[in-house]
Amino acid sequence: MITNFLYSFCGLFVFFMGFFALIACSHPLRKILAVNVMSTGVFLILVAGAYRPASVGDIDPVPHAMVLTGIVVSVSVTALALILACRVQETSNLSLLRPKSINGREESED
Amino acid sequence: MNLIISLFDIVLVITLLWLAWSMLSTEDIFKAVVLFISFGLLMALAWVRMRAPDVALAEAALGTGLTGPLFFSALRRMERLRQDERRLDTSEDRDADTDSEQE
Amino acid sequence: MPILTRNRNNRKRLDPYLLLLFFFVACLVLWLGAILCSLPMGVPGLGKEVASLQQRSGVQSPVTAVLLNFRGYDTFLEVLVLLLAVIGVWSMTLAPFPSGEVEKSPVQLGVVRLLTPLMVLVGAYLVWQGSHLAGGAFQGGAVLGGAGVLLLVAELPWLRSVPSLPLRIALLAGPLVFFSVALYCLLRQGKFLAYPQDTAGAFLLIIETACALSIGVTLASLFAGGRPDDDLPETGTPSDPQGGRTE
């Protein structure tokens, strides 16, 4: 009982640490890291709710299966988000750089 | 025995919270990713404590073993990009300077 | 990021917006904490129901039974999510393989040579173990993906010329096998994903093996960060310095 609450509150705090960092940090990698931390907090709350001491009896396997699904989905989402962040940086650099340099050349030609 | 287990619980929870805090507040992103990996490994320990060995295996293999390298490769990609950008930026600054001088 | 302080003019100052956000988050923590306290902890979940149906699921591990039998829909959609992630990544860039030959240390090559077969073996063992103990398609697939990541990190030269067609087949193997088994069940039993009781174990093992292969290839190609070279060539961005390979 106490263990359930201890780990649930740990999950709650971890979730909100991630939530705070998600808003407060500006770097995309940090944001993705914060989302991962948030998901870990949610998983911890789910699994801590299903925990029973060995003397009490069987553990509910349904939250475990859901958390397993969640971990796999969060990994694939992380991978996609990281590639998106890289692409955003690449293309935004180009769009920032190219028109300027072209303009500069044109002005100097003029 | 019970005392030892509850002591273990408290130490594990405090370590998890401390790791999460220092991961999210550190200046260096590389350090943050390393802390994230250690956070995931301790999380696997917490899953074992919660009698969820399946989740612990998945967390250790997926959440830590694959997310960490993914972050590292993205970080490397971005840093390589930033080096290129810096190179382009400086040359452009020079261009801009000469332009303003001409004007 | 220094939390709550922002460095301006070489002087650390409390940022009012971040402070406001901090109070907002603290209120949320209190609110959700109160809700958590009022939750009925310790109620018997679905553990008993799962245990009573365990015999009919075809496997001994309760988590695997829930994952692949009782909530098979979930897992099927999850495999599709993984496929979707790879489609998203492949549609964005080519894999950024290094252009030049890198001098590799013999230690690294030796480690790769020793560890890769071992990881494949462990992955297969985890898939096999999933029917009665902790383990299963996702864990085994993750270890297989880890073997792929090891090869990719070592930057072996032949990885660049991996053709895309076998990769695509391997990516699709899991979802296709899962879907065809589900269709077979629909035809035989009249219900989607309702395995016939006597052959459920065999079906689950087939699905798990195919899914583990697909998940391994999926994770490795997510790590590679783009589609292989002989796939659609990059067009439209002629002087893209980083997109795809820098020649």
What's A19's domain CATH number? Answer: 1.10.287.3510
ipTM > 0.90, yes or no: no
Highest mean pLDDT among A52-61, A91-100, B14-23: B14-23
| Cβ neighbours of A29 in B, within 8 Å | 29, 33, 71, 74-75, 78
Question: Would the CB atoms of A60 and C67 count as touching at under 8 Å?
Answer: no
The predicted structure's pLDDT at residue A104: 39
Work out the percent of chain B whose per-residue pLDDT is above 90: 51
| Cβ neighbours of A1 in C, within 8 Å | 41-42
- State yes or no: pLDDT of A100 exceeds 80: no
Ranges of chain C with pLDDT below 50? 1-2, 8, 10, 237-247
Per-residue buried b or exposed e for C134-150, using 16+ beta carbons within 10 Å of the residue's own CB? bbbbbbbbbbbbbbbbb
Cβ C177 vs Cβ C210: under 8 Å: yes
- State yes or no: pLDDT of B56 exceeds 60: yes
| Chain A residue nearest residue C40, CA to CA | A49
What is the per-residue pLDDT across A16-73, written as a single tens digit (0 to 9) for each? 999 999 998 888 899 999 999 999 999 999 999 888 887 777 788 889 999 999 999 9
What is the per-residue pLDDT across B40-55, written as a single tens digit (0 to 9) for each? 999 999 999 988 889 9
Q: Please tell me which chains touch A, using 3 or more CB pairs under 8 Å as the contact test.
A: B, C
As to burial, measured by CB atoms within 10 angstroms (0-12 exposed, 13-18 middle, 19+ buried), residue A63 is: buried
Q: How far apart are CA C104 and CA C102, in angstroms?
A: 6
Spacing of C-alpha B47 from chain mean position: 20
Question: Would the CB atoms of C1 and A21 count as touching at under 8 Å?
Answer: yes
Count: domains in chain A = 1
In this complex, the residue of C42, C46, C222 whose CB is nearest that of residue A62 is C46
Range of the domain at A80: 2-109
Cβ C242 vs Cβ B80: under 8 Å: yes
- State yes or no: pLDDT of A105 exceeds 70: no
Distances (CA, A) of C223 to A77, C108, C242: 12, 19, 17
The predicted structure's pLDDT at residue C48: 79
Q: Which of A2, A12, A26, A36 to mutate to test the interface with B (most CBs of B within 10 A)?
A: A36
- Would you tell me which residues 73-92 of chain A have a C-beta closer than 8 angstroms to some C-beta of chain B? 74-75, 78-79, 82-83, 85-86, 89-90
Q: How far apart are CA B52 and CA A51, in angstroms?
A: 8
Question: Would the CB atoms of A60 and C51 count as touching at under 8 Å?
Answer: no
Question: Would the CB atoms of A33 and B71 count as touching at under 8 Å?
Answer: yes
Alpha helices in chain C (DSSP H): 16-38, 47-57, 62-64, 72-90, 106-129, 137-154, 164-189, 200-224
The predicted structure's pLDDT at residue C234: 60
Question: Would the CB atoms of C85 and A77 count as touching at under 8 Å?
Answer: yes
Least confident of A90-104, B7-21, B55-69, C135-149: A90-104
What is the per-residue pLDDT across B66-102, written as a single tens digit (0 to 9) for each? 999 999 999 988 888 777 766 665 555 555 544 444 4
- State yes or no: pLDDT of A95 exceeds 70: no
The predicted structure's pLDDT at residue B83: 73
Question: Would the CB atoms of B54 and A47 count as touching at under 8 Å?
Answer: no
